[in-house]
Amino acid sequence: MSNIKESLIERLEKGVVLVAEGYIFELERRGYLKAGPFVPEVVLEHPEAVKELHYEFLMAGSDVIVACTYYAHRSKLKAIDKEDRLEELNLKSISLAQEVAQKDGALVAGNLSNTWEFNHNDPTESGKIVRSIFEEQVDWASRGNADFIIAETFSHLGEASIALEVIKDAGFPAVITFTTVHEKSCDGYSWEEACRILEKNGADVVGLNCGRGPETLMPIVQRVRDNVKGHVAVLPVPYRTTPKEPCFFDLRLENSKNAFPVALDPFLLTRFEMADFTVKARDMGVNYIGICCGAGPHHVRAMAEALGRKVPASKYSPDINLHPVFGDQDAKKQHYVECLLGPNVPIGLNST
């Protein structure tokens, strides 16, 4: 199938590639995955739920179906005592992604994540562990005919570099992204410097994902865009991070308790805010644009439509003119307007 589709690079040369991620968070919200370990056991236990979310993201306009293998590596499976099902999970994930992608010619991406095994104080020995983890996951992605590999949420340039080496050794295009919890990587590099080094060493796309919402991520994206020559990726979380609370790990509820990871709902961005982000990223010269943890299909559709696209799910885009209270004069039921909102209340269309 890969040889009859436009490649990732061909698509990037023509314009924006839109990528829906955030599978782990969304499947947890739907009740199929345990918060805390965030291991995608759902692939084995409820594959129909994974396939459905793939399909919803495809309908909403994602150009890429990402195999649900984030945190599906040996270290994480060992932690939940399911290491014996590691290969089965990875191969099944790729297969589910392929089933859905073929409906609309979408690309299929294998997915590597940070391993929590890399130690910049002992890069040689810890790097051996990390490399073995990545090598087997890339091999399974290759056996499943992935079109390219995403390696993401890195906090160390050292670990990201190992991922890049493994991906390129296997002959795949590589998208490598960092999560910017702090102003520099854990091994001391500015994010723009880390991206520049990866690009120099052969990464096809470099950039940032997860951790920060658009407001606090975009200034860093601008520095990356100014310092690399090729394709740049940005996939923020759809949460209202601020200069005071720049990362979604920092967000606090009114009782000062940490909102991450399962009480982030009050901070969720609207579809319109994610659409605005998409346009700003495109206008900045970023052409691999997406959304990470917290994403819903409604966000993705709004992002696609902000790029001027009509996607299958656009059939169901809002038309508030038809609402019996907030709609136009022909649709309004005036007695309900007065009952619910009071007499002489001006009703205008909302942010649609």
DSSP code of residue 221: H
Q: What are phi and psi of 330, to 5 degrees?
A: -70, -30
> What integer is the mean pLDDT of 157-168?
98
**What is the DSSP secondary-structure string of 63-120?**
SEEE-S-TT-SHHHHHHTT-GGGHHHHHHHHHHHHHHHHTTTT-EEEEEEE--S---T
Tell whether the model's pLDDT for residue 346 goes beyond 80. Answer: no
Tell whether the model's pLDDT for residue 147 goes beyond 50. Answer: yes
> What integer is the mean pLDDT of 32-50?
97
CA 203 to chain centre: 18
Q: How far is CA 350 from CA 16, 224, 306, 325, in A?
A: 29, 36, 17, 12
Tell whether the model's pLDDT for residue 330 goes beyond 60. Answer: yes
Please choose, from the candidates 187, 190, 191, the residue with its C-alpha nearest in 3D space to the C-alpha of residue 206.
191
- Per-residue model confidence as pLDDT tens digits over 102-143: 989 999 999 999 999 999 999 999 999 999 999 999 999 999
Tell whether the model's pLDDT for residue 268 goes beyond 70. Answer: yes
- Position 349 scores a pLDDT of 47
Please choose, from the candidates 99, 8, 5, 11, the residue with its C-alpha nearest in 3D space to the C-alpha of residue 307.
11
Q: How far is CA 239 from CA 114, 232, 268, 306, 334, in A?
A: 21, 21, 5, 19, 37
Assign 331 a pLDDT band (cuts: 50, 70, 90).
low
Q: In whole angstroms, what is the distance from residue 185 CA to residue 198 CA?
A: 13
> What integer is the mean pLDDT of 231-239?
98
Tell whether the model's pLDDT for residue 203 goes beyond 90. Answer: yes
Tell whether the model's pLDDT for residue 329 goes beyond 80. Answer: no
> What integer is the mean pLDDT of 192-205?
98
Tell whether the model's pLDDT for residue 198 goes beyond 80. Answer: yes
Q: Are 250 and 214 in contact (CB under 8 A)?
A: no
Assign 338 a pLDDT band (cuts: 50, 70, 90).
confident
Q: How far is CA 122 from CA 73, 118, 125, 165, 220, in A?
A: 21, 8, 6, 19, 28
Q: Are 200 and 176 in contact (CB under 8 A)?
A: no
Q: What pTM, to 2 d.p., does this model score?
A: 0.94
- Position 347 scores a pLDDT of 58
Q: Are 17 and 11 in contact (CB under 8 A)?
A: yes
Tell whether the model's pLDDT for residue 246 goes beyond 50. Answer: yes
> What integer is the mean pLDDT of 151-161?
98
> What integer is the mean pLDDT of 168-189?
98
Q: In whole angstroms, what is the distance from residue 56 CA to residue 62 CA?
A: 9
- Per-residue model confidence as pLDDT tens digits over 60-83: 999 999 999 999 999 999 999 999
Please choose, from the candidates 87, 72, 86, 83, the residue with its C-alpha nearest in 3D space to the C-alpha of residue 37.
72
- Position 9 scores a pLDDT of 98
Neighbours of 329 (CB within 10 A): 8
- Position 176 scores a pLDDT of 99
Tell whether the model's pLDDT for residue 341 goes beyond 90. Answer: no
> What integer is the mean pLDDT of 213-237?
98
- Position 4 scores a pLDDT of 64
Domain 2-314: CATH superfamily is: Homocysteine-binding-like domain (3.20.20.330)
Q: How far is CA 75 from CA 83, 90, 148, 248, in A?
A: 8, 14, 23, 24
Tell whether the model's pLDDT for residue 254 goes beyond 90. Answer: yes
Q: In whole angstroms, what is the distance from residue 138 CA to residue 154 CA?
A: 17
Please choose, from the candidates 77, 153, 68, the residue with its C-alpha nearest in 3D space to the C-alpha of residue 108.
68
Q: Where in the chain is the domain with CATH 3.20.20.330?
A: 2-314
Assign 6 a pLDDT band (cuts: 50, 70, 90).
very high
Alpha helices per DSSP H over the chain: 8-14, 23-29, 42-45, 47-60, 74-79, 86-101, 123-143, 157-169, 191-200, 214-227, 271-283, 297-306, 334-341
Tell whether the model's pLDDT for residue 2 goes beyond 60. Answer: no
- Per-residue model confidence as pLDDT tens digits over 284-309: 999 999 999 999 999 999 999 999 99
Q: Are 323 and 331 in contact (CB under 8 A)?
A: yes
Instruction: Share the mean pLDDT of the chain.
Output: 95
